[in-house]
Amino acid sequence: MSRLAATPLSVLDLAPIREGGSAADSYRESVALAQLTERLGFTRFWLAEHHGIEGIASAATAVLIGHVAGATQRIRVGSGGIIMPDHTG
């Protein structure tokens, strides 16, 4: 068995919205990336959770996780986030 096959690999997707594109386009691109990731034998597909950032479609990760998981067969789909304190002054 190759070392690569023994090492579980993941992909992290930020779900960016391309210039001139839409959140729906970004969701389609995330599904396509997850399907490719699955075909290549990766173990997990992570969606980065970001809020309040223009151009990022992954604020509602629960919605995107369901969308991606429904379009894949065996890859594990999840999200993660780090909550940072808001220092405004």
Specify the pTM.
0.81
Distance of CA 30 to the CA centre of its chain: 6
Rounded to the nearest 10°, the torsion over CA 46, 50, 56, 61 is: 50
Q: Which two tokens stand for residue 50?
A: 């970001």
Q: Where are the domains of the chain?
A: 18-80
**Cβ distance 75 to 45 under 8 Å?**
yes
Distance of CA 52 to the CA centre of its chain: 17
Q: Which two tokens stand for residue 18?
A: 């391309």
Residues in the chain: 89
The predicted-structure confidence for 19-77, as pLDDT tens digits, reads as follows: 999 999 999 999 999 999 999 999 999 998 877 778 888 878 888 999 999 999 999 99
